[in-house]
């Protein structure tokens, strides 16, 4: 597994990015390689051979799966529908997906969520139609009442 080297005093400060920056301070314990402090990258900290050989490829479309050999990473910009298609194809090709745990479970849960959303949308549309019809009926009733009032007023004026 690859070692992550962090910059000095990154733990307590939000503004410092979590990445390596060479310590340059005069009194820096990290620069002086003092015991009890973080490790500084140097020769001998190379990642293991098995980690170096594993080829992971970033997948943004189904066409990217043709070049993938062992494992893939799904792009965060993918939508749910495309992600499901890619996961299905990846499971057929027996590729390991690194950023999805339990591919089959994920596919099942997300399909259930999609069906649930569809049924909710249909229910919402039906409710909208009903409310529009009710509003239209109420408007018709109010128009009829106004017409009757105007008829009565006209009849009273004529008398």
Higher pLDDT, 153 or 93: 93
The reported pLDDT for the residue numbered 154 is 83
Confidence check: pLDDT of 158 > 90: no
Higher pLDDT, 59 or 12: 59
The reported pLDDT for the residue numbered 70 is 85
Confidence check: pLDDT of 92 > 90: yes
Average pLDDT over the chain, rounded to whole?
A: 90
Most confident of 18-22, 23-27, 130-134, 137-141: 23-27
pLDDT above 90: percentage of residues in the chain:
60
CB atoms within 10 A of CB 105: 10
CB atoms within 10 A of CB 96: 13
Confidence check: pLDDT of 140 > 90: no
pLDDT in tens, 14-63: 898 889 999 999 999 999 999 999 999 999 888 887 777 667 889 999 99
Higher pLDDT, 75 or 53: 75
The reported pLDDT for the residue numbered 48 is 80
Confidence check: pLDDT of 11 > 90: no
């Amino acid at each position: 597994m690859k070692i992550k080297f962090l910059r000095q005093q990154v733990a307590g400060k939000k503004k410092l990015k979590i990445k390596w920056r060479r310590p340059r301070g005069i009194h820096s314990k990290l620069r002086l390689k003092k015991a009890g402090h973080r490790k500084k990258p140097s020769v001998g900290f190379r990642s293991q051979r098995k980690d170096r050989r594993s080829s992971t490829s970033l997948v943004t479309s189904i066409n990217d799966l043709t070049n993938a050999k062992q494992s893939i990473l799904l792009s965060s910009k993918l939508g749910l529908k495309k992600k499901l298609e890619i996961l299905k194809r990846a499971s057929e090709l027996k590729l390991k997906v690194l950023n999805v745990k339990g591919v089959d479970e994920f596919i099942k849960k997300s399909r259930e969520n999609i069906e649930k959303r569809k049924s909710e949308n249909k229910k919402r549309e039906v409710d909208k139609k009903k409310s529009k019809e009710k509003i239209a009926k109420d408007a018709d009733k109010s128009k009829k009442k106004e017409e009757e009032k105007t008829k009565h007023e006209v009849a009273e004026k004529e008398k």
